[in-house]
Amino acid sequence: MAALAPLPPLPPQFKSIQHHLRTAQEHDKRDPVVAYYCRLYAMQTGMKIDSKTPECRKFLSKLMDQLEALKKQLGDNEAITQEIVGSAHLENYALKMFLYADNEDRAGRFHKNMIKSFYTASLLIDVITVFGELTDENVKHRKYARWKATYIHNCLKNGETPQAGPVGIEEDNDVEENEDIGATSLPTQPPQPSSSTYDPSSMPSSSCTGIQIPPGAHAPANTPAEVPHGTGDIRLTPEDFARAQKYCKYAGSALQYEDVSTAVQNLQKALKLLTTGRE
């Protein structure tokens, strides 16, 4: 992968995308597809923030050059040429990061890499919005991961021991302002997926901040959908077929990571849609 031309200094207006751009740089070698979509998200977001100020226009122009160079280097990669494949690739990568951090958290292994993985997962879920609106599940994952990164970081910084597992969500944490979290290096080996399930029933209150658990604030569940046996008289729309195809694509992408649980979950969603006409 050829080196990309460096960007000019980040204008203050674009502070909200600085960690997404840093994540892109971290993935230039380890996963260029992730790097590409992080830059695309930064580009789209930057255009909405300020596309008129000279320094912002100059920055966005150089960022566009990087995007075009990356697209040329990636050539006919399906994850770039087909949105369904790209979305599946990004979603599975983010989930893999999340599950690695969640497993470390539940095992009581608190360290900078797991904090960074929680935070990076939340950033990559931001990036998924380049393909459209997030699912409710992704919104919950993002909120939980971003809060967990801040909660554990603050506990360790204050010399306190975080509580493992779901402990609630603090609504007013502004993680974007925390340089320490974004600056940590990611694990050298890609985190491995797991079939662990979330247990929202066992949620003590936080020992570090004294917060109480708001209703419904817990790690999202990844429970496969139950599929009825009989199809009945189901009339499927073209949109239903497109969604079923999307789930099958997601499953195929998950299998590339040997992530069986995610593959099974998406295949079950496709099957339920095709047999009931409902998701």
Q: What pLDDT is attached to residue 239?
A: 73
Nearest 10 degrees: Cα torsion 9, 11, 14, 20:
0
Q: What pLDDT is attached to residue 182?
A: 58
Distance CA 108, CA 1 (A): 38
Task: Please check the confidence at residue 114 and state whether its pLDDT lies above 50.
Answer: yes
Domain at 238-276: CATH code: 1.20.5
Domain boundaries for CATH 1.25.40.270 within the chain: 12-81, 83-158
Stated pTM of the model = 0.69
Q: What pLDDT is attached to residue 207?
A: 40
Phi–psi pair at 29, nearest 5 degrees: -100, -40
CATH architecture for segment(s) 12-81: Alpha Horseshoe (1.25)
Q: How many CB atoms lie within 10 A of CB 205?
A: 12
Phi–psi pair at 65, nearest 5 degrees: -60, -40
Q: What pLDDT is attached to residue 258?
A: 77
197-243 tens-digit pLDDT: 333 333 333 345 433 333 333 454 443 333 344 446 677 777 777 77
Domain boundaries for CATH 1.20.5 within the chain: 238-276
Q: What pLDDT is attached to residue 255?
A: 81
Task: Please check the confidence at residue 87 and state whether its pLDDT lies above 90.
Answer: yes
Q: State in words which class domain 83-158 has.
A: mainly alpha
18-45 tens-digit pLDDT: 999 999 999 999 999 999 999 999 999 9
Contact residues for 250 (Cβ-Cβ < 8 A; gap 6+): 87, 88, 91, 92, 262, 266
